[in-house]
Amino acid sequence: MSRSLNLKLVRAFVLVIVFSTLFASVITYWMTVREFSQFVFDQARSRFITDVSFYYQTNASWEGILESLQLRASAPQPPPQNLPLPPPPQIPPQNPPGNQQVLQPAFVFILANQDGIVVVPAGDYRLGDQVPASKLAEGTIVELDDQKVGTVLATGSPPELDPREENYLTRSNFVLLYSGLAAIVAAIIIGILLARSLTRPLSELTAAIRKVSKGDLKQQVPVRSQDELGDLAAAFNKMSADLDKANNLRRQMTADIAHDLGTPLTVLSGYIEAIQAGTLEPSQERLATLESEIQQLVRLVMICARFRSPMLGNCP
């Protein structure tokens, strides 16, 4: 029974902590990915605004901005972060033979000039489209010398992660996974220890009760806590001590009654043997003595009957 209760408690503790750990891990993973994605998005938008602002400051117009961005995005080795855009190319890119168009890189952000005309298309907007005023209000204004020169809008597509960012996110996920596994192992160990600490007093109490049921009344169990289990152990110890004391009193009473029964029985036996042998004549005085001894035996039997107990046994 104690093993079954121990197993149930271990299962309960482990399930609660495992589900709590999984829930916390999922929430942590979701928050980490979301915050990291937002950080990457903010960094990409900041770099994009810095690059286009430098381009407009250098060229005083948005002419050639698209070609410059395309060259930079198509370069085998991208320039370091926060490096300004180069000036517009002197020779525009040519289409390859066979009338095949060069695949232009997809941009994450839209750039509209001061009139709301798209100069860097992305998403659903094409070059030269007019961006609605409500949509422009959601973008980030590009200003030079306190004058609005354009608006940057997000397309909703997340920016691509560079190898360092992907490596960081992968390592974060592994750390989260290992932390969850360590928490589950710790939960199993803690669950086993807690279950044993709760079931150990019950096991000791069960063993002591079994010994009492077999007649060994002098049983005491250690009081290991001050809670309900401790109160139960203390109550059992008091009951066991009271039973042992009552049993000792019964034994002492039995010995005393046995001693007291010896005198009237001896007198009765002596008188009866003498009368049967003819040594003594039955007389009123002798019969009164026999009756007195019989009454003494009756009183002793009645006293013994008062102390009868199903657990302690009956008087002999």
Give the angle 66-69-72 at the CA atoms, nearest 5°: 150
- Total count of residues recorded for the chain: 316
Is the per-residue pLDDT at 151 higher than 90? yes
pLDDT for position 89: 45
pLDDT for position 288: 82
Higher pLDDT, 88 or 49: 49
Is the per-residue pLDDT at 177 higher than 90? no
**What CATH architecture is 228-306?**
Orthogonal Bundle (1.10)
What's the per-residue H, E or C state across 80-123?
Answer: CCCCCCCCCCCCCCCCCCCCCCCCCCCCCEEEEECCCEEEECEC
Q: Please report which confidence band the pLDDT of residue 90 belongs to, taking 50, 70 and 90 as the band edges.
A: very low
Mean pLDDT value of segment 271-280: 78
**Chain segment 212-264, per-residue pLDDT in tens:** 888 777 788 888 777 777 888 888 888 888 888 887 887 777 777 777 777 77
13-27, 29-43, 109-123, range with greatest mean pLDDT? 109-123
Q: Can you spell out the DSSP letters for the chain?
A: -HHHHHHHHHHHHHHHHHHHHHHHHHHHHHHHHHHHHHHHHHHHHHHHHHHHHHHHHHHSS-TTHHHHHHHHHH-SSPPPTTPPPPPPPSSPPPPPTTTPPPPPPPPSEEEEETTSBEEE-BTTB-TTPBPPHHHHTTSEEEEETTEEEEEEEE-SPPPPPPHHHHHHHHHHHHHHHHHHHHHHHHHHHHHHHHHHHHHHHHHHHHHHHHHHHTT----------SSHHHHHHHHHHHHHHHHHHHHHHHHHHHHHHHHHHHHHHHHHHHHHHHHHHTSS---HHHHHHHHHHHHHHHHHHHHHHHT-BTTTB---
pLDDT for position 97: 42
Mean pLDDT value of segment 84-99: 44
pLDDT for position 315: 53
Higher pLDDT, 89 or 76: 76
| Per-chain mean pLDDT for the chain | 78
pLDDT for position 113: 92
Residues of the chain with CATH 1.10.287: 228-306
Mean pLDDT value of segment 266-286: 78
**Chain segment 197-216, per-residue pLDDT in tens:** 777 888 888 888 888 888 77
- What are 311's two structure tokens? 């657990």
Is the per-residue pLDDT at 312 higher than 50? no
Is the per-residue pLDDT at 310 higher than 50? no
Q: Please report which confidence band the pLDDT of residue 99 belongs to, taking 50, 70 and 90 as the band edges.
A: very low
